[in-house]
């Protein structure tokens, strides 16, 4: 079953027009995949602090179901992903039972900077879909070694793509990130 749609979610300090999300949208849409970039409720309300995870996860679930319904396809033909916090919420939604084609996780926030003891991986054992992790080699939210070790516990197939000298924001790397995501989704 091919990927028919892609939900993209922003990081904690950004909205649906985050440059990386726009670049991914622009790269993926011509291949026939319908892309929906979403904002979380706190952004829509003009607040700076993110909602609690249950609200964020529910937003992902609602957006994925709406896209699947709109395209007339099962949820298993919708890929989910985003940057940092947004991607994490997508992975949590899938771990909680939301059907999906795949996860696209850009700059996954493995742990808070300087706090490798506070891993955000409790749900990894419930991820049974293909997962793409695109991260910078200088990301303070998780080194390549830390991320590879943590993702070894994911039952689904995992692909890593490392952006050389990229930090968590992957500044000036949007085109490379978008190309990686487009090509990986095309193989699904």
Average pLDDT, the chain: 96
- CB burial of 132-161 (b: ≥16 within 10 Å; e: otherwise) equals bbbbbeebebbbeebbeebbeebeeebeeb
Average pLDDT on 139-146 reads: 96
156 phi/psi in degrees, rounded to 5:
-75, 165
Instruction: Report residue 1's pLDDT band, with 50, 70 and 90 as the boundaries.
Output: low
Q: In the Cβ-directed half-sphere of 72, how many Cα atoms lie within 13 Å?
A: 0
Q: Which helix (H) or strand (E) holds 91?
A: helix 85-95
Sheet strand arrangement including 131-136: 34-37, 5-9, 78-83, 102-106, 131-136, 158-163
CA 79 to chain centre: 9
**CA-to-CA distance for 27 and 6, rounded, in angstroms?**
12
What contacts 188, CB < 8 A, 6 or more positions away?
Answer: 2, 3, 79, 101, 102, 130
Percent helix, strand and coil across the chain, each to the nearest 5: 40, 15, 45
Q: Record the pTM.
A: 0.96
Residue 118 pLDDT greater than 90, yes or no: yes
Fold annotation for 5-186: Rossmann fold (3.40.50)
Confidence bin at 2 (pLDDT 50/70/90): confident
Element spanning 26, H or E: helix 19-28
**Alpha carbons within 13 A on the beta-carbon side of 147:** 27
In this prediction, residues 74-78 reach a mean pLDDT of 96
Residue-range domain boundaries for the chain: 5-186
Tell me the backbone φ, ψ of residue 56, rounded to 5 degrees.
-65, -45
pLDDT in tens, 89-117: 999 999 999 999 999 999 999 999 999 99
Task: State the pLDDT at residue 13.
Answer: 86
Q: Are the C-beta atoms of residues 108 and 84 closer than 8 Å to each other?
A: yes
How is residue 95 written in tokens? 């771990």
What integer is the mean pLDDT of 14-41?
97
Q: Residues of the chain with pLDDT > 90: what percent?
A: 97
């Amino acid at each position: 079953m091919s990927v028919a749609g892609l939900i993209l979610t922003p990081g904690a300090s950004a909205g649906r027009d985050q440059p990386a999300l726009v670049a991914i949208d622009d790269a993926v849409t011509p291949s026939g995949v319908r892309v929906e970039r979403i904002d979380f409720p706190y952004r829509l309300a003009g607040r700076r602090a993110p909602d609690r995870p249950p609200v964020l996860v529910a937003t992902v679930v609602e957006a994925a179901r709406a896209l699947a319904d709109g395209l007339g396809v099962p949820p298993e033909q919708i890929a989910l992903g985003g940057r940092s916090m947004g991607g994490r919420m997508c992975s949590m939604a899938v771990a909680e039972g939301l059907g999906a084609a795949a996860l696209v996780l850009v700059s996954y926030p493995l742990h808070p900077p300087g706090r490798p003891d506070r891993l955000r991986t409790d749900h990894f054992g419930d991820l049974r879909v293909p997962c793409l992790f695109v991260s910078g080699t200088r990301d303070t939210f998780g080194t390549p070694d830390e991320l590879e070790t943590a993702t070894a516990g994911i039952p689904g197939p995992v692909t890593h793509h490392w952006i050389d000298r990229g930090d968590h924001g992957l500044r000036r790397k949007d085109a490379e990130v978008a190309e990686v995501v487009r090509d990986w989704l095309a193989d699904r």
